[in-house]
Amino acid sequence: MRNNKMVMVLAIIMGILIIAVMAGIIFVTIDKSKNASGKIIVDASSNSEEAIRAEKEEKLKAFNGKFTSYLGEQVSATLVKSLLSEIILSNNQNEERQLVVKILDTEIEEGTNDTEKLANIQKTIENEYTYSVECNYEDETGYVYEIIIKKSTSANVSPEIQAFNQKFEQYKEQIVKGTFIKEEIAKIINTSNSKNEEHKIMMYSGELKSLGDIKDDADYKITLSYDEQGYIYRIDADEQSGSLRNSVNDSTNMINEGNRREHETVNEMEDMMNNILQQYNR
């Protein structure tokens, strides 16, 4: 009888030690899983989700990039024709994403995705004019779905201004990540400013004092401003509120999931301890 009690006491001690070790493992795991922004990575599924999201962003960037590089206020006729060729090719190859083109003051000003009509209208683009090119994006996916082209009221501006503006106009009205602004757009601005002392470009982001304060994972909308000559002189990167809200929600959801799992583990430990005590009382 005495030996049985000793065995039960030892079992209780072992149970307590197991609980202590498991609690320590949980604490260390959760602590190491916190990243710099305070988010908790619960398990490997978050890495998988991140990979899927990154793949989707790459596909989105690749698709939109074929068309957004032509955006601008003073796009040459040659570039407009090239844009129409890209759209015709895309619509022929991609049935799921048919781009609609509107060319104002023409027979397709209401919009069409018919490649034959686009090929015919392409022949009517007048070389002595420049054109404004805009696009609209799907709210849910971010994909370009519509291109709007309008002939400028004045004749061709100088090729020098076109060349200067073109490298920035591809980003007009686009939503980009903070990392892209820091690594790509800022680099283009610095290069341009070093070569064009008379037409330096300034970049702003709301009330931020430095572009270094731009958040890497946040979304920003790019807006361009032009001087009286037609040169771009200012670029604004405005943080999108939806991006900020989603970031907070993601962080909150991950933390809540971590807390839920921790609570479940503690409950399992308590059940184990109660079972040991019940066996001892018998």
Q: Where are the alpha helices (DSSP H) in the chain?
A: 2-33, 44-68, 77-93, 115-122, 159-169, 178-180, 186-195, 241-281
For residue 37, pLDDT over 50 is answered with no
**Percent of all residues in the chain with a pLDDT value above 90, rounded to a whole number:** 32
Banded model confidence at residue 52, pLDDT cuts 50, 70, 90: confident
Instruction: Tell me the pLDDT of the chain averaged across its residues.
Output: 79
CA distances from 93 to 99, 115, 275 (A): 11, 11, 65
For residue 270, pLDDT over 50 is answered with yes
Task: State pTM to two decimals.
Answer: 0.46
Closest CA to 235 of 210, 205, 196: 205
pLDDT in tens, 154-193: 555 677 887 888 888 888 888 899 999 999 999 999 999 9
* pLDDT at residue 193 in the model: 92
pLDDT in tens, 61-110: 999 999 998 998 888 888 999 999 999 999 999 999 999 999 988 889 89
Banded model confidence at residue 130, pLDDT cuts 50, 70, 90: confident
pLDDT in tens, 204-241: 988 888 888 899 999 999 988 887 777 888 999 999 87
* pLDDT at residue 261 in the model: 62
- Domain coordinates in residue numbering, the chain: 2-33+248-281, 66-156, 159-239
Banded model confidence at residue 134, pLDDT cuts 50, 70, 90: very high
Banded model confidence at residue 25, pLDDT cuts 50, 70, 90: low
Pick the range with the lowest mean pLDDT from 39-43, 53-57, 65-69, 135-139. Answer: 39-43
* pLDDT at residue 147 in the model: 95
* pLDDT at residue 8 in the model: 67
Pick the range with the lowest mean pLDDT from 87-96, 124-133, 262-271. Answer: 262-271
Which two structure tokens, joined as six digits, stand for 250?
């993601």
Please work out, in degrees rounded to the nearest 5, the angle formed at the alpha carbon of residue 85 by the alpha carbons of 84 and 91.
85
* pLDDT at residue 14 in the model: 73
Closest CA to 176 of 164, 185, 187: 185
Query: Please, which residues have CB within 8 angstroms of residue 238's CB and are 6 or more apart in sequence?
Result: 205, 206, 220, 221, 223
* pLDDT at residue 274 in the model: 61
Q: Compute the distance between CA of residue 170 and CA of residue 181 in angstroms, rounded to an integer.
A: 13
